[in-house]
Structure 1
């Protein structure tokens, strides 16, 4: 796989996995369905887990292309902020927009 394809693959996976906790009610996609709504703590745990898995994918692809570059704490802090930013559409849909659509008009 080329370097450009690897970058695009990681970006697409990051966007999908960042929004996944907010668009389904199952634990880690295949777990039991929670009623009436999955707690926010579960969503944060899923978000952190998906961030680690996405980082692992990127790290593996980087290692397959060549030698991995050493990273400091700044890299991980920026990566976490980027992942949270990528999750904003799902968060807005789940907690801001969807809540307004479900409230009865009085």
Structure 2
């Protein structure tokens, strides 16, 4: 049986990964096929509760599509919740170098 703490962590990670995935921009034409495969993989990993693999897949998608800093912050937080400290450093760097969102007019 899954502990309430573990269930809450899983729910939080799923929410963070879902929010990050929703913010991904359309891929450049040269990466459309690769991104389509990665989106399929991401959905499959979530279906099988492979959250670490889902995180890794979103990281790959992020490097192909250049999302904004919020995407990387959500992934960083998901990695922290899962205790994946080795990923947190790389995600912080991706956040630091993410393109800035366009200024509101």
TM-score of the superposed pair, with normalisation by structure 2:
0.32
Structure with bigger RCO (C-alpha 8 Å, 6+ apart): 1
**Which one has a bigger Cα radius of gyration?**
1
TM-score of the superposed pair, with normalisation by structure 1:
0.31
